[in-house]
Structure 1
């Protein structure tokens, strides 16, 4: 997702080694306005380990992290960055968008309701509402798909009965299509009637154009 640091007047932007970079989780980094970072020198300390200025000052003087670094994760991050530069950020975003279009069209085509409208989504993940079919059981669906090699994160949005599917990672539209096929089979095995999943006010699938 394009982020113009200067245009948005961003002084501190934090990110992680996983998600769109496609590295291993475990490394956090902060892109800072150096002048604003220097102002933290005399700011009251609220944490020892998570003191951003202390980390910066120590690294500036010692050229080493203040605490033991996760070496293997940093090496994995380096490799992930190399892969990102090789693919190109625009190409990666286009791949994610293609994945998202394939997934959203397939999900809504089965009758699932999606929480947000296409215009409000970042093309990275989709939040799907539980259907009202009495035969639907998320845990059962989760476990059956896990046995077939697919993992669904069981997180909800607040108390809303929902689950999320992401399109990030080293996957393309063919992987998404394979998942959709297994999802359809799984729902049929559970006795879920796909044509009855969607209510009349459900959003329609986006165009693949």
Structure 2
């Protein structure tokens, strides 16, 4: 199958076309090319589809910069969480002990998954405001030599915090342990070069920074880890080793693949390459974040996190303390203006989230700010300042 890269993606869509922007960490707003790619049916056993899958995996390994051929890409049907569980179940031996780094809902989900797998683990829980740091991890690993693996969430989208993966990786391998990375909402934009940041495996999804649609995830893992994973999985359908072996033997998915989603993802990969790969995408997402955060702060909104830890993927804002502010109404009025935002996922404070990823640019983010301003006016909220108690709590926990 010949790849075509001499195309120009369609302009960024507009709410006036009747399709709202998805200001979420995925599913997200996609291009017209991605949508059109799903209009054709594919045979899952057909050679054209097998060729498409192989080409897709090669592109993903290129994004990871696997120059030496030490890694393999294994796609897995289902949501991103399916692929996270597949990675954990396949690469954590039954007698392993894992340190799970937590600062939000998705780190907690990793720990819950390991519990279901009946593997031993401990946690370093930093709450919602701060990342795990190298010296903390080092101390835990030195105190407990039974720990064999560390698992980190690259971008914790429940708070929007960007975790220091390079720092984490350096400490883990200095202490002779192995790192697994949940890069679900980061891979394809944030750096995760296998030649610079060491890890055994990472997992991501079609509907995140590559800007495809939901339906499958993928694991990029060292060949040596894949070979050693035989017999480790708790599950027939989530066995990464067996999925990999089947691709090697037949070029096919073991079970019915999301054919239309893969075809759409190939279009998304073309646009990703045209934009300059991960660096180009990161530049746009960063600009989106900076424009949106500056505008929201002018309205009085305050971010949950200090600037140092704000990711370019999604940003969490405190709910205003004004008595007329009610999130459900704010959500509905923003949606009526063409923007679907994301509820908060924190237990400490009331919050909401605004995503920066998807087929959107800085002009769209200016429209988001304008829509928020108009919505506040319609709600008769003259100040978006958060409760003083929330800022005190942030200062205390982030100290």
Q: What is aligned with 1:206?
A: none
Number of the residue aligned with 1:29 = 218
What's the C-alpha RMSD, in Å, of the aligned pairs?
Answer: 1.8
1 or 2, which has the higher helix percentage? 1
Query: Which of residues 320, 325, 332 is equivalent to 1:143?
Result: 332
Residue of structure 2 in register with 1:11 after alignment: 200
SS at match of 1:122: coil
Structure 2 residue aligned with 1:84: 272
After TM superposition, give the deviation of residue 91 of structure 1 in Å: 1.9
Aligned to 2:122: none
Provide the TM-score with structure 2 as the length reference.
0.48
Counterpart in 2 of 1:56?
Answer: 244
Find the aligned partners of 2:387 and 2:330 in 1 and give their Cα distance: 21
Q: Give 1:159 deviation, angstroms.
A: 4.5
Counterpart selection for 2:235 from 47, 66, 83? 47
Report the counterpart of residue 176 of structure 1 in structure 2.
365
CA contact (8 A) 2:320 2:387 kept: no
Matched, 1:129 2:318: yes
The CA deviation string for residues 129-186 of structure 1, in whole angstroms up to 9 with x for no partner, is 1111000000001011111211012242235311110110111111111111111011
Q: Equivalent residues in 2 for 1:56-205 (5 A)?
A: 56-89=244-277, 90-194=279-383, 197=385
CA distance, structure 1, for counterparts of residue 299 and residue 330 of structure 2: 15
Secondary structure at the residue paired with 1:21? coil
Helix, strand or coil for the counterpart of 1:42?
coil
**CA distance, structure 1, for counterparts of residue 386 and residue 255 of structure 2:** 52
Inter-partner Cα distance in structure 2 for 1:145 and 1:100: 18
Deviation at 1:25, TM superposition (A): 1.3
CA distance in 1, matches of 2:353, 2:379: 20
Greater percentage in strand: 2
State whether residues 316 and 344 of structure 2, in contact with CA within 8 Å, keep that contact through their aligned partners in structure 1.
no
Q: What is the distance in 2 between the residues matched to 1:8 and 1:190? A: 47
The question of whether the paired residues in 1 share the 8 Å contact of 2:321 and 2:387 is answered with no
> Is 1:20 the counterpart of 2:238 in the alignment?
no
Tell me the residue number matched to 1:207.
none
| Distance (whole Å) between structure 2 residues aligned to residue 70 and residue 103 of structure 1 | 34
1:38 matched residue in structure 2 = 227
Tell me, which stretches of 5 or more residues in structure 2 are unaligned? 1-189, 395-399
Q: TM-score, normalised by structure 1?
A: 0.90
